[in-house]
């Protein structure tokens, strides 16, 4: 009988944990959506301020993480149709490209990362911890 009581307790604890997990999952989704909104604001600012792209300008892929930003430096590659292509500057990721679509609507922006320019990075660096990934 003692093992039955233990099992009932375990099942009850498990049920409570599952309920807590669901609450955390909902809250995590809300936080991610807020990060995506901020990323879209940065995207909109970037598009507004960068009508021409060149290899001499500095661009970055910014990831909005938990309490800090991580950035990877990018190099402009080319523009075609409504897409700007960047390559990673890092020798370890230089064969990976980052595509920036010039006509994304906020409802379609579902990412916590965004391409930014040096001016945006400097502005963010004044207020938040920014980790540069090599």
The tokens for 22 are 């669901």
Structure confidence at residue 95 (pLDDT)? 83
117: left (phi over 0), alpha (psi -120 to 50) or beta: beta
Which segments in the chain show pLDDT lower than 70? Answer: 1
Q: Calculate ∠ Cα 37-39-101, nearest 5°.
A: 110
pLDDT on residue 93: 84
pLDDT value of residue 1? 64
First to last CA, the chain: 60
Tens of pLDDT along 36-61? 999 999 999 999 999 889 888 999 99
How many Å apart are CA 111 and CA 37, to the nearest integer?
9
Output the pLDDT for position 14: 96
pLDDT attached to residue 17: 96
Please tell me the predicted confidence (pLDDT) of residue 51: 85
pTM above 0.75?
Answer: yes
How do strand 59-64 and strand 69-80 relate by DSSP bridges?
antiparallel
Tokens of 131: 């980790």
């Amino acid at each position: 009988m003692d093992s039955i009581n233990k099992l009932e307790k375990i099942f009850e604890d498990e049920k409570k944990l599952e309920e807590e997990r669901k609450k955390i999952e909902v809250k995590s989704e809300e936080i991610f959506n807020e990060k995506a909104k901020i990323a879209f604001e940065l995207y909109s600012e970037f598009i507004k301020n960068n009508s021409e792209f060149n290899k001499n300008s500095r661009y970055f892929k910014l990831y909005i993480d938990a309490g800090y930003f991580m950035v990877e430096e990018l190099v402009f590659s080319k523009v075609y149709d409504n897409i700007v292509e960047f390559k990673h500057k890092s020798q370890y990721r230089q064969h990976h490209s980052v595509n920036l679509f010039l006509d994304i609507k906020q409802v379609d922006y579902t990412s916590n990362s965004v391409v930014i320019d040096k001016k945006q990075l400097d502005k963010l660096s004044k207020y938040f911890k920014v980790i540069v990934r090599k």
